[in-house]
Chain A
Amino acid sequence: DAKTTQPPSMDCAEGRAANLPCNHSTISGNEYVYWYRQIHSQGPQYIIHGLKNNETNEMASLIITEDRKSSTLILPHATLRDTAVYYCIVRVASGANSKLTFGKGITLSVRP
């Protein structure tokens, strides 16, 4: 079962930053936080992941709190094409448990 909780939905205006929250209060010290998104019925698309430090790439930024119990995905300038379901996932310890377990995610709607 997923170890994260996300609001079911949110919206933002095109061109503005979208800040997507995620709680993972039971995360262990060696577990990574991953973000994926799924646009309509396409395959999930990797966005970003991190362990402790904040991360940034060409798509987004990931801010992880110091206690690691929550994180925020930031899309700096949302476009209509960013409308999707966004999944925050805690990837559990390695070995036989290397899978990603998807929860319900948060549906982001970007409005014109």
Chain B
Amino acid sequence: NAGVMQNPRHLVRRRGQEARLRCSPVKGHSHVYWYRQLPEEGLKFMVYLQKENIIDESGMPKERFSAEFPKEGPSILRIQQVVRGDSAAYFCASSSGFRGRDEKLFFGSGTQLSVL
């Protein structure tokens, strides 16, 4: 019974490169959430997706960041032209969506992005 799987666990990029973070939700879950945690700070919501749709992207930076959750395959958080300020832990969570607010989110172990 696999939980939320995120990979890679650690990702190192140089400034200007692209970073792709993957999230495989719990089997059967169609709702995915991405969060970012900067060093010594709290978890900040970025985006909420259902299969093939972005539902809430109110926490996504306007530029360089994008997210998708295709019909098949994992959810991808993509950061183009990374800068040092993008260095953070990125967490993904999933839920089935069947019970709305009365349903817990399962979180992955995160991807630690380091930008040199």
Classify the secondary structure of A's interface with B.
loop
Question: Is the interface on chain B under 10, 10 to 19, 20 to 34, or 35 or more residues?
Answer: 20 to 34
Binding-face segment, B12-20, B71-79, B97-105: B97-105
The residue of chain A having its C-beta at the shortest distance from the C-beta of B107 within the complex is A43
Of the candidates B4, B100, B110, B112, which one forms a contact with A98 in the assembled complex, judged by CB atoms under 8 Å apart?
Answer: B100
B22 within 8 A of A: no
- For the residues of B in contact with A, the DSSP-based class is strand
The contact of B105 among A96, A97, A100, A104, by CB within 8 Å, is: A100
Take A44-B107, A99-B48 as given contacts and tell me if A94 and B101 are in contact as well, using a CB distance cutoff of 8 Å: yes
Size category of the binding interface on chain A: 20 to 34
* A51 contacts B by Cβ under 8 Å: yes
Establish whether residues A49 and B100, one from each chain, have CB atoms under 8 Å apart when the complex forms: no
Contacting pair A105 B107 (CB below 8 A): no
| Chain A proximity of B106: nearest CB distance (Å) | 7
State whether the Cβ of B116 lies closer than 8 Å to any Cβ in chain A: no
A interface vs B, CB < 8 Å?
30-32, 34, 36, 38, 41-46, 49, 51, 87, 91-94, 96-105
Query: What is the bound-complex CA distance between A42 and B106, given in angstroms?
Result: 13
Residues in A with CB closer than 8 Å to B95 are 98
| Chain A residues closer than 8 Å to B43, beta-carbon distance | 38, 44, 87, 102
